[in-house]
Chains A and B, each alone.
Chain A
Amino acid sequence: MECVPADAFLAVEVMKPQAVLSPFDEKGAAMLTALPGVQDQLAKPGVKQFFQIVKVIENQLGTEWRAGLGQMTGGGVAFAMCPQERNVFIAEASDVSMTKRLNEFLLKAAASKKSSDGSTALFEAQPIDGVPAWTLGPKETHVIAGNLLIISSGAEGVRAALAQRAKGAASSLAATPAYQAAKRAVGPDAAAMVFVNTAMLKQFPGFAEKLNFKNANPLAVLLFAGIGDAVQGANWLALGVRVKDGGLALQLASDAKPAASSPSAFALPAKSGDGILPNITVPRQIAAFSFYRDLRRFYQAKDQLFPERTSGLIFFENMMGIFFSGRDMTDDVFAQAAPEVRFVVANQEYDPAIGTPEAQIPAFAVILRLRDPAKSNEMLEEAFQKSIGLASFTRGQQAQPGFIIERPVHWNTRYTVARFPSAAIKDRARLDIRYNFRPTLAMPGQYLVISSTDGLAADLMDALGREAKQMPAPLAGIHSLAELDGAQVSAVLQRNLDIIARGNMVKQGRSLEDARAQMNALITAAQVVSKLRLTIGADAGASCATLDVDLCQPAKGKGLARAR
């Protein structure tokens, strides 16, 4: 990093190249090649040709590619983007002879190509500051200086890097306070770090304007609260990458400190020790989300958060006035909810007596904690039943079947479920899409569950019953948590593969084969990821986010197994 000038606005530093290469070791390669989608990719002519070229280089250098790459980058790798398009890539070798041998091989290969097709590419450029320089194309210049390979898009980039090297580390990007703060934020065990100097970028025309985006969608504002503020208020952003056994961890850090006076402060835990509740776990769970959102404060700040939506909000309030019998949305409705808001998405199991829809949509639910269930339960029940009645009425106007409302009991909770009539179904193997939905309202104890199906609502009532017996401690300082299960995502994609592929034919102009291949690639990606966990909050007062990715491991003869 001592060759990277201090005016770089984006830098990538790989501190531990071996750690970054480790997922591609034999075990990792076996894992990847075990996936059907990857096998399909490897069979493609272009990919085959690429691996043939790698093989030729391995033969020339007398080493396997991972070992060779390890030797050429053992001291670390850096890439930086500086003003005036002075972009530079630097690799510090632990064994520079390997770098030199690769350089000679590439120059020979280029010379042979030149003589065969008469291309006019220049291979040896003028020395830069006394260091021999080569070029393999119109926008590439490189030198080997000591044990460093420096590549840039032009001679100016290489010259700047060499000049910086001569000046010494004290004036490089690595020595700036922002970079050092970023390094501290991602921690000493990070294998690599991406650093963005947003303070500098904000001085570029157009960038500040783009950065100053304002999302006008109330739902997006509610869900992504604080993220926009963090990016806009930051002088720097840093993304740290950790490679763990069987997984990756990405940590996004910044120096932005969320302000309690900001309209987005509805997402800030009110006092020290406050934060989200852990996610709820149900069978066949695809994803779960937990948020700390003070809905009353959110709605109260609506005119600052999305002023251009005022007319839409007036309509919303008029509609809600029907469901909530004219109550004030801020104080009488939203104020009833505690700030812990959770969502769950899970694959469905269908009742064989009714049948299976052709398009299988996962069930989803929102779970709130009520401040005063005795006060709000009837209000919520009334609003739910009115909305179901309205939906049924609207469908009836179009000669479509409406809902039947039932009030069954699960354990000791009476809940409300609205279902479509099922007696006259003709083909139970290919039900209409509407049979994915059985809107349900349940209020077990202090909780409110609004679910797209009664099955998920029942699973949630079970889970909440367990939680109520021993309330978990909040995750202090965290305001958002998202967790995803790769196997369940893969399962839902597989169940709907044909329908989604067909949809992509008309949405993306693909052939059915292409659309299927695209879906298979997505399914493969989902199979690779065992678990994904994203947390967003504040660490020592500054905004930060962490993404943990657990990868699947192949188990002999059993396909993929969980790494952890």
Chain B
Amino acid sequence: MTTLTEQHRDPAWAWARYEPAAGRPWTLALAGHLHRRAGFGGTWEQLQRALRGGPQRTVDGLLRPAGDVAGFNRDFDKYEASADDARGVEDLRAWWLQRMMQSPHPLLEKMTLFWHGHFSVDGGKVNFTRLAQRHVALLRGQALGSFRELLRGIVHDAAVFLSLEAAINRKSQPNEQFPRWLMECYTVGHGNYTEADVRGAARAFAGWFVLQGELRDIPREHDTESKRILGQQGPFNSDDVVRILLEQPATAQHIVRKLYRWLISETAEPDARLIAPLAAAFGKDYDVGKVVEMMLRSNLFYSAAAVRQRVKCPVEFALGIVRALEGAVPAMNLAHDLGRLGQSLFFPPTTKGWTGGRDWINHATLAGRHNLAAAFLQATGGPYAGKLNPGEVAKKHGISTPQAAAKFFAELFVQDAAVAGEVIERDADKAARHAAYAVVTSPEFQLA
């Protein structure tokens, strides 16, 4: 665990743009760090381009990639639409992973994953696949957009109501589940609301029902009487609740802290002074993209306080291998295998999502990561066999000897040649597979 130094804690220094200098040069390691945090790790070509282009131009490219992102997502939206209710969200999980493997905008998918953990919708409780699909589409639509719009979407999202077992909101018996989690997890966070606020908000949501897989507003069930919510009094409805929550400074602080943990570090808790400038900026317009951009361009992001200060979640671990090796693996199998590593998409363990951090790693999940890496990298046998070809990737980049391949994969995956494994195998293809396996099972590769 790295503790924050005085310099790290100084907001003026921390959030100023990182400009490479003699003492803090732009290196392959920092390029790799940026691609890991703002995506799922880079290919060799992306890392080299980043190295040539410098940090700020690379961030430009990650925020606004050149490819036809809208067209890509339109196609995948269409593919996902054929997922049927009978199979639950199984198909959707696979499609999302496929999207992550192929997306020209990995940061968008990475942030969609962040919001999935934040809102933590449980696919097992959402009986309608199209609702789960719409929910993730909502997350993706605003993943780097407006949190205000996202929250407005969330409070009218049938999947969220079903997931929180709040499908029925009668005036005579307001359902407190939805407003409680809205405050506890989605907005102001623990300690910034009272039970009376929950009861008031629950009355404001009276009249919202999920019927036959659709969210319906039934006016006869509205509670039009005055309520008190977070210090404000009035005949509030659900839109008013959203407005009141977004007016609370605690909401911006809560979201910025989570983003800090996702993008910068989960080992050292930032103090209020450090995050204050970001929270203040975020609270003005709730523009997620702006905060993400500030973080990715900052001095702090490229400092020891951030580099390798997160444990990769299973999705990052697996996608890090697949994307770096410029391949694709059967997403249906991958979805199952990620579940064994503790991250089953659409099935977060609690309403608070995945705890993350060190909880990702234990004896069983570490062995599971090794097994998955072995399955990815074997030439024959199993669902992933032959799908990734490290030897071809090495050859494509001019690597001709097993020794050079070992160094190449160490630099590709962890940007540290010292992590290269010992070379025993003479066969080029096998040597490349062994070398890649040695690196992706190293402790360094488990860190983002």
Q: What per-residue 1/0 map shows which CB atoms of B368-395 lie under 8 Å from chain A?
A: 0000000000000000100100000000
Q: Is B234 an interface residue (CB 8 A)?
A: no
Q: Is A508 an interface residue (CB 8 A)?
A: yes
A508–B332 CA distance with the chains assembled, in angstroms? 8
Known: A506-B330, A507-B332, A510-B328. A399 touches B127 (CB 8 A): yes
**Complex contact A506–B82 (CB within 8 A):** no
Contact of A399 among B86, B94, B211 (CB under 8 A): B211
Interface residues of B in 89-112 (CB under 8 A from A): 91, 94-95, 97-98
Q: Is B85 an interface residue (CB 8 A)?
A: yes
Across the interface, which residues of A come within 8 angstroms of B333, CB to CB?
507
A499–B82 CA distance with the chains assembled, in angstroms? 8
Across the interface, which residues of A come within 8 angstroms of B384, CB to CB?
509
**Complex contact B82–A359 (CB within 8 A):** yes
Rounded to whole Å, the gap between the CB of A433 and the closest CB of chain B is 5
**Complex contact A358–B332 (CB within 8 A):** no
Known: A399-B211, A399-B213, A433-B86. A506 touches B127 (CB 8 A): no
**Complex contact A433–B331 (CB within 8 A):** no
In the complex, residue of chain B having the shortest beta-carbon distance to the beta carbon of A397: B127
Rounded to whole Å, the gap between the CB of B159 and the closest CB of chain A is 13
Interface residues of A in 429-469 (CB under 8 A from B): 432-434
Rounded to whole Å, the gap between the CB of B68 and the closest CB of chain A is 15
Across the interface, which residues of B come within 8 angstroms of A511, CB to CB?
328
Rounded to whole Å, the gap between the CB of B261 and the closest CB of chain A is 31
A508–B384 CA distance with the chains assembled, in angstroms? 8
Q: What per-residue 1/0 map shows which CB atoms of A355-367 lie under 8 Å from chain B?
A: 0001100000000
In the complex, residue of chain A having the shortest beta-carbon distance to the beta carbon of B334: A509
Interface residues of A in 84-116 (CB under 8 A from B): none
Q: Is A203 an interface residue (CB 8 A)?
A: no
Across the interface, which residues of B come within 8 angstroms of A400, CB to CB?
85, 127, 213
**Complex contact A433–B387 (CB within 8 A):** no
Rounded to whole Å, the gap between the CB of A519 and the closest CB of chain B is 15
Across the interface, which residues of A come within 8 angstroms of B98, CB to CB?
505-506
Contact of B331 among A359, A399, A499, A506 (CB under 8 A): A506
A64–B91 CA distance with the chains assembled, in angstroms? 52
Q: Is B329 an interface residue (CB 8 A)?
A: yes
**Complex contact A506–B91 (CB within 8 A):** yes
A511–B213 CA distance with the chains assembled, in angstroms? 33
**Complex contact B387–A509 (CB within 8 A):** yes
A508–B128 CA distance with the chains assembled, in angstroms? 25
Across the interface, which residues of A come within 8 angstroms of B91, CB to CB?
506
Q: What per-residue 1/0 map shows which CB atoms of A507-540 lie under 8 Å from chain B?
A: 1111100000000000000000000000000000
Q: Is A66 an interface residue (CB 8 A)?
A: no
Rounded to whole Å, the gap between the CB of B127 and the closest CB of chain A is 4
In the complex, residue of chain B having the shortest beta-carbon distance to the beta carbon of A507: B332
Across the interface, which residues of A come within 8 angstroms of B82, CB to CB?
358-359, 499, 502
**Complex contact A507–B330 (CB within 8 A):** yes
In the complex, residue of chain A having the shortest beta-carbon distance to the beta carbon of B80: A502
Q: Is A261 an interface residue (CB 8 A)?
A: no
**Complex contact B79–A502 (CB within 8 A):** yes
Across the interface, which residues of A come within 8 angstroms of B332, CB to CB?
506-507
A502–B331 CA distance with the chains assembled, in angstroms? 12
Counting chain A CB atoms within 10 Å of each CB, which of B127, B211, B384 scores highest? Answer: B127
Query: Contact size class for B?
Result: 20 to 34
Rounded to whole Å, the gap between the CB of A75 and the closest CB of chain B is 39
Q: Is B84 an interface residue (CB 8 A)?
A: yes
Across the interface, which residues of B come within 8 angstroms of A434, CB to CB?
84, 86
Rounded to whole Å, the gap between the CB of A432 and the closest CB of chain B is 7
Q: Is B172 an interface residue (CB 8 A)?
A: no
Rounded to whole Å, the gap between the CB of B130 and the closest CB of chain A is 10
Across the interface, which residues of A come within 8 angstroms of B211, CB to CB?
399
**Complex contact A506–B95 (CB within 8 A):** yes
**Complex contact A509–B330 (CB within 8 A):** yes
Across the interface, which residues of A come within 8 angstroms of B86, CB to CB?
433-434
Rounded to whole Å, the gap between the CB of A276 and the closest CB of chain B is 34
Q: Is A470 an interface residue (CB 8 A)?
A: no
Q: Is A311 an interface residue (CB 8 A)?
A: no
Q: Is B212 an interface residue (CB 8 A)?
A: yes
Rounded to whole Å, the gap between the CB of B118 and the closest CB of chain A is 25
A399–B384 CA distance with the chains assembled, in angstroms? 38
A317–B127 CA distance with the chains assembled, in angstroms? 29
A400–B328 CA distance with the chains assembled, in angstroms? 35
Q: Is A398 an interface residue (CB 8 A)?
A: yes
**Complex contact A433–B84 (CB within 8 A):** yes
Counting chain B CB atoms within 10 Å of each CB, which of A358, A432, A508 scores highest? Answer: A508
Rounded to whole Å, the gap between the CB of B123 and the closest CB of chain A is 13
In the complex, residue of chain A having the shortest beta-carbon distance to the beta carbon of B330: A509
Counting chain B CB atoms within 10 Å of each CB, which of A359, A433, A505 scores highest? Answer: A505
A505–B86 CA distance with the chains assembled, in angstroms? 20
Q: What per-residue 1/0 map shows which CB atoms of B191-228 lie under 8 Å from chain A?
A: 00000000000000000000111000000000000000
In the complex, residue of chain A having the shortest beta-carbon distance to the beta carbon of B98: A506
Known: A399-B127, A399-B212, A400-B127. A508 touches B85 (CB 8 A): no
Q: What per-residue 1/0 map shows which CB atoms of B282-322 lie under 8 Å from chain A?
A: 00000000000000000000000000000000000000000
Across the interface, which residues of A come within 8 angstroms of B387, CB to CB?
509
In the complex, residue of chain B having the shortest beta-carbon distance to the beta carbon of A424: B212
Known: A399-B213, A400-B127. A509 touches B84 (CB 8 A): no
Rounded to whole Å, the gap between the CB of A112 and the closest CB of chain B is 26
Counting chain B CB atoms within 10 Å of each CB, which of A359, A432, A509 scores highest? Answer: A509
**Complex contact A398–B127 (CB within 8 A):** yes
In the complex, residue of chain A having the shortest beta-carbon distance to the beta carbon of B329: A509
A399–B128 CA distance with the chains assembled, in angstroms? 9
**Complex contact A432–B94 (CB within 8 A):** no
**Complex contact A432–B328 (CB within 8 A):** no
Rounded to whole Å, the gap between the CB of A427 and the closest CB of chain B is 11
Contact of B328 among A499, A502, A509 (CB under 8 A): A509
In the complex, residue of chain B having the shortest beta-carbon distance to the beta carbon of A514: B328
A400–B130 CA distance with the chains assembled, in angstroms? 13
A399–B167 CA distance with the chains assembled, in angstroms? 11
A502–B79 CA distance with the chains assembled, in angstroms? 7
Interface residues of A in 319-334 (CB under 8 A from B): none
In the complex, residue of chain B having the shortest beta-carbon distance to the beta carbon of A401: B212
A362–B168 CA distance with the chains assembled, in angstroms? 39
A432–B327 CA distance with the chains assembled, in angstroms? 33
A499–B91 CA distance with the chains assembled, in angstroms? 12
Across the interface, which residues of A come within 8 angstroms of B84, CB to CB?
359, 432-434
A510–B329 CA distance with the chains assembled, in angstroms? 7
Across the interface, which residues of B come within 8 angstroms of A509, CB to CB?
327-331, 384, 387
Across the interface, which residues of B come within 8 angstroms of A510, CB to CB?
328
In the complex, residue of chain A having the shortest beta-carbon distance to the beta carbon of B95: A506
A505–B91 CA distance with the chains assembled, in angstroms? 11
Interface residues of A in 359-380 (CB under 8 A from B): 359
Across the interface, which residues of B come within 8 angstroms of A499, CB to CB?
82
A309–B332 CA distance with the chains assembled, in angstroms? 29
A508–B91 CA distance with the chains assembled, in angstroms? 13
Across the interface, which residues of B come within 8 angstroms of A432, CB to CB?
84-85
Across the interface, which residues of A come within 8 angstroms of B79, CB to CB?
502, 505
A320–B212 CA distance with the chains assembled, in angstroms? 31
A399–B214 CA distance with the chains assembled, in angstroms? 10
Q: 27 A-B pairs, CB-CB below 8 angstroms?
A: A358-B82, A359-B82, A399-B127, A399-B128, A399-B211, A399-B212, A400-B213, A432-B84, A434-B86, A502-B82, A505-B79, A505-B98, A505-B331, A506-B91, A506-B94, A506-B95, A506-B97, A506-B330, A506-B331, A507-B94, A507-B331, A508-B330, A509-B327, A509-B328, A509-B329, A509-B384, A510-B328
Extra contacts besides A359-B84, A505-B98, A506-B332 (9): CB < 8 Å: A399-B128, A434-B84, A502-B79, A506-B330, A507-B333, A508-B330, A509-B327, A509-B329, A511-B328
| CB-CB nearest 8 A-B residue pairs | A506-B94, A509-B330, A506-B331, A398-B127, A509-B329, A509-B328, A433-B84, A509-B387
